[in-house]
Amino acid sequence: MSELRPHQDELLVLADLAGIHMDQEIFRSLVELLNMGVGPDAIYNLLKILRKRQNKGRRSHGSQRISKYK
């Protein structure tokens, strides 16, 4: 993928200063989704779903580790 445009790089720095830390690749993907016309609400809902799935996966792996030591 190409590098961020100057204004996008500045936006990433602003987000970082505001306490919103993210990988440059993730930021680039979010910008691409917005450029394709995907609404911010849809992106937000997708991120919430992905976060829930990630948390469920971590919990199930954690409980498996605990049960191995019993």
Specify the pTM: 0.65
Q: Which residues contact 28 (CB under 8 A, 6 or more apart)?
A: 1, 4, 8
12-69 pLDDT, tens digit per residue, is: 999 999 999 999 999 999 999 999 999 999 999 999 999 999 888 777 666 555 555 5
- Predicted pLDDT of residue 45: 97
33-44 pLDDT per residue, tens: 999 999 999 999
Check: CB of residue 22 under 8 Å from CB of residue 15.
yes
> What pLDDT does 6 receive?
83
**Structural domain boundaries enclosing 54:** 39-70
**What pLDDT does residue 67 have?**
53
7 and 33 in a single domain? The answer is yes
Together in a domain, 10 and 33: yes
